[in-house]
Amino acid sequence: MRKSMQSLAVLGLGALVFSSCMVVNPGEVAVKQRFGQLSQEVYNEGLVFYNPISTQIITTPTRTVNMEVNLSLPSKEGLNIKSQISILYRIEKNNVPTLIEEIGSNYENIISSVFRSASADICAQFMAKDMHSGKRSEIEADIAQVMNGYLQPRGIFIEAVLMKSIQLPGGLYNSIQSRLEAEQEVLRMEYIVKQEKLEAERKLVEAQGTRDAQLVLADGLTEEIIKLRSIEAFLELAQSNGAKIIITDGKAPFLVGDGMVE
């Protein structure tokens, strides 16, 4: 009986110990709330001991969280653009007590509300085609900046706003595609014209080089050089095999016939 009582006491003590601690996972922090009063001390990952009768443990993720939002964004011309957007945010560890006191644990509802307001204000300043072009990154950065202006002092930092998919009205989409195709065709023609100009310039330079070479050669053909070339021609004829018939004026050969001697 005595051993049974001891065993029950050990089991009761073990149950009390296990019920008086909590594990804080990586990427989370915890704060204690005792009799409704929130402690300002923040606990990192690991074991946290507390009195389960008087104290409650509130955990909050501090890692980057991806929040998905689907909504229609207004454009400058009054169109509604269906979009799927990711909001990447994280909670600042040291501001967790303030966040819980001012907003509570349902802070994602606040993030969503702030995003809807900020995105409506920013997107209304841009044309619908801008959301489908290079200005998308500018729109994303402007929305994140406006959101951080309201949320960062409360401990929520918006890392990025990513417009993953934008569905433009059918007619507008076709118009944008036609314009892009026309722009590509213009760029292609400009490239062809540029290549043709370069080829024409190359041919002009080549022709000028040939002309300059001929001019240099003509300037260098003096009477003495012509006589020397004539002598060299006579010597070559004299050294070749076969009979030769040469018609000349005594200065340079102008007709040569070459026959074989049998």
Q: pLDDT tens digits for 186-240?
A: 778 888 888 888 888 888 888 887 877 777 666 666 666 666 667 676 667 666 6
Helix, strand, or coil (residue 71): strand
User: Which phi and psi (to 5°) does residue 198 adopt?
Assistant: -65, -40
Check residue 19 and give its pLDDT. 52
CATH architecture of 65-173: 2-Layer Sandwich (3.30)
200-218: b (≥16 Cβ within 10 Å) or e: eeeeeeeeeeeeeeeeeee
Question: In whole numbers, what is the pLDDT of the chain averaged over residues?
Answer: 75
Strands (E), 107-242: 156-167
Determine the Cα–Cα distance for residues 161 and 147; give it in Å rounded to an integer: 10
Check residue 158 and give its pLDDT. 93
| More confident: 121 or 216 | 121
Q: Are 245 and 259 in contact (CB under 8 A)?
A: yes
Full strand arrangement of the beta sheet holding 55-61: 37-38, 28-34, 55-61
155 has a pLDDT exceeding 60: yes
Q: pLDDT tens digits for 79-102?
A: 788 888 999 999 888 888 888 888
243 has a pLDDT exceeding 70: no
Check residue 244 and give its pLDDT. 60
Domain(s) of CATH 3.30.479.30: residues in the chain: 65-173
User: Which phi and psi (to 5°) does residue 244 adopt?
Assistant: -125, 140
171 has a pLDDT exceeding 70: no
Nearest in space to 105 (alpha carbons), one of 152, 57, 148, 149: 57
